[in-house]
A and B are shown apart, each in its own frame.
Chain A
């Protein structure tokens, strides 16, 4: 039985962002940009979508004179990510 893949996570950039945030406590915009190689505009749009779904928290602040956008995954985001991986397993026929 195939589980449905969460469409919010089943897109390249959003999944990339979530995978980064699952492995660190907090990542800022520049880090996500460096690791994904995506354009700032595209990242912003996807961050916004993930944030609206409650999967991540975005904090805007200042570091010296620069603005800094820090993102961290929420418990809901972690749970959604875990569900997504579980669903993937069912597609790839990996037995638990």
Chain B
């Protein structure tokens, strides 16, 4: 028996025989396994582009004014990022949440909190904030890639982890620029690839 459940319509409360039951279970489980979906890269793209734009802005202000108060512009990343995320996701009801979704969400909640804490602390204590952030974001990206089994995201994350040394070898405000570029390589490029694959999978 070969049933395509994408087109099958369960109209009534039919009683099945044992074999049909087993077929139904296995088909439903198979169909519920979510493949790479369109728009999966959205969060990466939103935060990647926002971070890139903000770091260019911070670089410009710091370079031209030498006034460290402009570091407050960094706060724009969570503010703009979450606002954009809300508007982009508002009209797209999420159909199902899988175990993978939960793992990825939790990884980003934990590491995102660490990112926020480190950034906040950097306002008061001198710490090498940008390398720490690159390392943390690289770790979260690599774990995400491994969990969703998508190599470009893993590569992006690993490149991020490796490039945490870059701000150490750069001096001055160029560190800020490097940070933006790292985030671009780590999130924006894999984000676009993820969306592209998602679109192709849905055609």
Contacts and interface: CB of A to CB of B under 8 A. Distances in A.
A30 B101 CA distance: 18
A91 B22 CA distance: 11
A13 interface: yes
B172 interface: no
Interface in B135-180: none
A30 B28 contact: no
Nearest to A70: B97
Residue of B5, B15, B18, B29 ringed by the most chain A CB atoms within 10 A: B18
A20 B24 contact: no
Interface string B3-41: 001011111111110111110110011011110000000
Given A24-B97, A64-B91, A88 B22 contact: yes
A12 B22 contact: no
A88 B25 CA distance: 11
Interface in A32-65: 34-39, 42, 46, 63-64
Contacts of A27: 32, 95-97
A37 B8 contact: yes
Chain A interface mostly: helix
B98 A24 contact: yes
A67 to B, nearest CB: 10
B25 A12 contact: no
Contacts of B96: 20, 24-28, 31
Interface string B124-135: 000000000000
Interface residues of A, number: 35
Contacts of B31: 20, 35
Interface in A77-96: 85, 88, 91-92
A11 to B, nearest CB: 5
A28 B28 contact: no
Contact of B11 (A25, A26, A39, A68): A39
B27 to A, nearest CB: 8
Contacts of A15: 16, 21, 24-25
Interface of B: 5, 7-16, 18-22, 24-25, 28-29, 31-34, 90-91, 93-99, 101-102
The 10 closest A-B pairs by CB, nearest first: A31-B95, A19-B28, A37-B9, A27-B96, A26-B97, A91-B18, A12-B14, A23-B32, A64-B90, A24-B96
Interface of A: 5, 10-16, 19-20, 22-28, 30-31, 34-39, 42, 46, 63-64, 66, 68, 85, 88, 91-92
